[in-house]
Amino acid sequence: MVGLHEYLVVSGLLFLIGAVGVLTRTNGLILFMSLELMLNAVNLTFVALARYTGSLDGHVFVFLVTAVAAAEAAVGLAIFVSLFRLHRSVNVDQMNAMGE
Amino acid sequence: MERVLFYALSGISVLAALWMITRRSPLSSALSLVVTFLGLAALYAMLDAQLLFVVQIWVYAGAVMVLVLFVIMLLNLREEESRMAAASWGRFALCGILALGLAWKAFGVLAGVRGIAPPVSSEFGGVASVAEILFTRYLVQFQLVGLLLLAVVVGVVVLAKRAR
């Protein structure tokens, strides 16, 4: 059996990669995908801990997180489409004016 | 055998994730993220989470990524970022150093965690057992998610309409 710490390290690595992606990229869509990656890294922690505690509560949390992430994807992408129509770009560095 | 499978799957997931944040074209980023999601789904299966294995493939690798790919193709984003490349390499290096520092601390803790997997019945993680706890102890949360999805449907329709 693979140890709990191995799952946690993989999850930590994925979370870090997602965090670096969010901090470094300027393309809004890749930023968004990095965010999804971070959510998934946390989900892996939930599932691993659920297995190693023998309780199903973690699975329910992952289920709910998945639903919220799907909702976030729908709204986020709709916002990006609107922003693209406004600025002809999804580069977040160029979006520095509020209420224009 | 299980260990080999675990290292292969997690290696593929982590490499695909690295590939995702380093690609310039959003399209190849999205496709490598699909690989990461599929690798994670397989890891869920190894952790006896049958329902989540299916949900991960349907909702993440399926629905969410199809939506992302659809938007990328709709907006025709190909080399959007290439002219920013010079500026972002310095930022990339800085964040990499910060992440390594964080990793040093976090993995010191995570690698010390030990756990013994208790034996579970073959029902563990199946549809029936997850549904049972979802519709009893977490019924309120489940209903709230339903409400959230309704709000999202309305919100997206409003966003799409106003943009015209």
pLDDT computed for residue B129 by the predictor: 92
**Is A26–B52 a contact, with Cβ atoms under 8 angstroms apart?**
no
Measured between CA atoms, how close is A95 to chain B, in angstroms? 14
The whole-angstrom distance between B150's CA and the closest CA on chain A is 9
Helix (H, G, I), strand (E, B) or coil at A29: helix
Tell me the β-bridge partners of A27: A91
Could B88 and A4 be called an inter-chain contact, meaning their C-beta atoms sit closer than 8 Å?
Answer: no
Chain A residues with CB-CB distance to B149 below 8 A: 67, 71
Interface test mutation site (partner B, options A4, A32, A40, max chain B beta carbons within 10 A): A40
Burial class (CB in 10 A: 0-12, 13-18, 19+), B72: buried
Interval A13-60: pLDDT, tens: 999 999 988 888 888 889 999 999 999 999 999 999 999 998 899 999
Confidence tier at B164 by pLDDT (50, 70, 90): low
Q: Is A91 helix (H, G, I), strand (E, B) or coil?
A: strand
B33/A36 CB distance under 8 A: yes
Alpha-carbon span A35 to A32, nearest angstrom:
5
Residue A66 pLDDT: 94
Q: Which neighbouring-strand residues pair with A91? A: A27
Share of chain A above pLDDT 70, in %: 96
DSSP category for residue A88: S
Residue A44 has phi, psi (to 5 degrees) of -65, -40
Nearest to B60 by CA among B43, B77, B81, B73: B43
Question: In angstroms, rounded to a whole number, what is the distance separating the alpha carbons of residues B148 and B157?
Answer: 14
pLDDT at B122 (0 to 100): 81
Residue A65, chain B, CB below 8 Å: the answer is no
To the nearest whole Å, the CA of A99 is away from the closest chain B CA by 15
- ipTM of the shown complex: 0.91
Chain A residue numbers with beta carbons less than 8 Å from the beta carbon of B93 are none
Q: For B44-99, how does the pLDDT look when each residue is reduced to its tens digit (9 = 90+)? A: 999 999 999 999 999 988 899 999 999 888 887 765 555 555 566 777 788 888 88
SS3 category, B122: coil
The reply to whether residue B71 touches residue A43, judged by beta carbons under 8 angstroms, is: no
Question: What is this structure's pTM?
Answer: 0.89
- Provide the β-strand partners of residue B31: none
In this predicted structure, what is the pLDDT of residue B87? 60
Structure tokens belonging to residue A84: 């693209």
Q: How far apart are the first and last CA of chain B?
A: 56
Tally Cβ neighbours within 10 Å of residue B111.
14
- A94 interface with B at CB cutoff 8 Å: no
Residue B138 has pLDDT above 90, yes or no: yes
Q: Give how far A12 is from chain B: nearest CA, Å.
A: 8
Q: Do A81 and B145 touch (CB under 8 A)?
A: no
Whether chain B has a CB inside 8 Å of the CB on A95: the answer is: no
Q: How confident is the model over B13-37, as a mean pLDDT? A: 92
